[in-house]
Amino acid sequence: MEVSDVIKARRSVRQYLDKPIEEDKKVALKDYIDLLNARYKTNVQIFFDDENAFSNSTAAYGLFSSCKNIVALVGKDEETCGYAGELFALKAQSVGLNTCFVGLTYKKGNIKRKIKLQKGEKVQCCIALGYGKTQGAKRKSKKPSDVLVLKGEKPKLLDEVVEACLLAPTAINQQKFKVVCENGDIEIVKSGFGFYAGVDIGIVKCHKDLILGKVSL
């Protein structure tokens, strides 16, 4: 599957089947996290089969059910954690699993007791992981003209980059970013303030770099 197809297929899923992740997939995901941590100097950690990972109570953005797997995005920099976290989410999607970035609804006390933190690190965000009851619903989105700032000539892949950036998950769907293209160079910049804005920018930058071929899954 092409990376653009994986980006289009991945949607936020909060309702999960009571179905364990197969051992071979667990090993592959752990190995991928090791690769991400080595590449980005993060300390991402994964916990499988945790009956108490989620509170199952309604928080700011929906109800989680039957999710027993959680990925803690641990590191010193929230943008880097968002970038690495989205690479993980897309890798999980590519092997048939579903995900959702989580800020509030996981049981922080329970998970934090398991996480190993190094000096200066914190849990920037988490990712729910498992087999979804559905593949997730399409969400509302800004239009390309809402986020694109074009100065000079339009490079070949710009439309694909903007489309991929608008498909990036952001906290409460706030999409507080701009795609700035100047003289053929494409950059992602913050546009305003919001919850988990640094993590969001990392996620959006990840999508941009995947489309431009600067990184791969």
Q: CATH 3.40.109.10 residue ranges in the chain?
A: 3-130
Low-confidence ranges of the chain (pLDDT < 70): 55-62, 104-110
**Rounded Cα gap, residues 154 and 138, in angstroms:** 28
* 63-76 pLDDT, tens digit each: 788 889 999 999 99
| CATH architecture assigned to 3-130 | 3-Layer(aba) Sandwich (3.40)
**16: which strand partners?**
132
| CATH architecture assigned to 144-212 | 3-Layer(aba) Sandwich (3.40)
What pLDDT is attached to residue 114?
85
**Rounded Cα gap, residues 178 and 189, in angstroms:** 5
What pLDDT is attached to residue 61?
44
What pLDDT is attached to residue 97?
98
Provide the sign of the torsion angle of the four alpha carbons 44, 46, 47, 53, taken in this order.
positive
What pLDDT is attached to residue 55?
59
Q: In terms of residues, how long is the chain?
A: 217
Q: CATH 3.40.109.30 residue ranges in the chain?
A: 144-212
